[in-house]
Structure 1
Amino acid sequence: MREEIVDIERELMLIGRYKELASSAAPASERRLERGSSYILLSRLEAEGPMSIGQLAQAFSLDTSTVNRQTAVLLRDGLAERIPDPEGGMARKLRITEEGVRRVGGEREYRIQGLATVLKDWTPEELAAFARGLAHFNASIEH
């Protein structure tokens, strides 16, 4: 195995660990959303508009039963609501609520502030290169 790939795996593992540490260290009042999946699903609904369970499952390459369980949390907490398909289809769709928009915005701001603190000494060129590398990495995963 190429040494660079081994290094990347280690760094990604550490990122995951640091993310968990940051989440558990934050005061309860600052923990905007309890689960990472809630943030991801709400962000997608915010960006794309209403989506069915099947569309969300396809978008994230997940089983519909998994998405069903994850969206049940959003519905229970009033962060999303079921609506008739605005395009007249048979499937009901999920739409982010005003509370969901507020909570996802708060979570996003919390995460951005954390990144800004960690990256405060980076140059604009370093930040741009890192952003491009991450975008390329995510596109490779999606492909």
Structure 2
Amino acid sequence: MVEPSRQIELELTLLNRHSYFDGPRKADAHKKVDRSAYIVLTRIELDGPLTIGELSAALGLDTSTVNRQTAAMLKADLIERIPDPAGGLARRLAMTDEGAERLEYARARTVESLGRIMSGWSEAEVEDFARSLERFNRGIEALEGRPWPRPVD
């Protein structure tokens, strides 16, 4: 029998190799959002406009990495730079209408794919998995000291 922590390690490795998000259909290829943009847009959606430094801290990434990611997102009109509403010098990155539309499209396709993957599961199994996954993620966030905001039910 495989030690449970080793089995979890393997399953996480396997999960990361999959692209359970089908991506846009060929007719909708212009709606593509890569994984890094999906994460950044989700964080901005939950927190509101953020500075590069705030995004860097929230994502646990070097500012140069966040700069590269957001430069591509600015070019794709997914985000825009806005003045700090509090009057600070740093500009904030806000989601554009295009970014919101593409995030929602990608999210709907992901949820649809997950529904197909778990189609043989009972509602209770899906709910248990969701709770366990949230608990697991919150454990990681607590260790890293970087909690991720979640929508209020």
Q: Normalization by structure 2: what TM-score?
A: 0.84
**Alignment pair present for 1:139 and 2:138:** yes
String of CA shifts for 1:61-102, please: whole Å, max 9, x gaps: 111111111000110001100011011111000000000000
**Alignment pair present for 1:38 and 2:18:** no
4+ long deviations beyond 4 Å: none
Q: What is the root-mean-square deviation in Å for CA atoms of aligned residues?
A: 1.8
Kindly tell me: are residues 53 and 92 of structure 1, through their superposed partners in 2, closer, same or farther at Cα, counting changes over 3 Å? same
**Alignment pair present for 1:9 and 2:9:** yes
String of CA shifts for 1:95-137, please: whole Å, max 9, x gaps: 0000000000000000000000111111111111101111111
Partner Cα distance (1:114, 1:101) in 2: 20
**Aligned to 1:121, what secondary structure does the other structure show?**
coil
| Matched residue, 1:127 | 126
Report if the CA contact (8 A) 1:30-1:110 is conserved: no
Q: Normalization by structure 1: what TM-score?
A: 0.90
| Matched residue, 2:148 | none
Report if the CA contact (8 A) 1:33-1:39 is conserved: no
CA deviation after TM superposition for structure 1 residue 30, in Å = 5.0
| Matched residue, 2:18 | 18
**Aligned to 2:19, what secondary structure does the other structure show?**
helix
**Aligned to 1:19, what secondary structure does the other structure show?**
coil
CA deviation after TM superposition for structure 1 residue 23, in Å = 4.7
Which ranges of structure 1 fall in alignment gaps of 5 or more residues?
none
Partner Cα distance (2:141, 2:113) in 1: 26
Report if the CA contact (8 A) 1:79-1:100 is conserved: yes
Amino acid in the other structure paired with 2:78: L
Report if the CA contact (8 A) 1:42-1:96 is conserved: yes
Which ranges of structure 2 fall in alignment gaps of 5 or more residues?
143-153
- If each structure's helix is expressed as a fraction of its own residues, which one has the higher value? 1
Partner Cα distance (2:32, 2:10) in 1: 27
| Matched residue, 2:146 | none
How many residues align structurally? 140
Report if the CA contact (8 A) 2:52-2:93 is conserved: yes
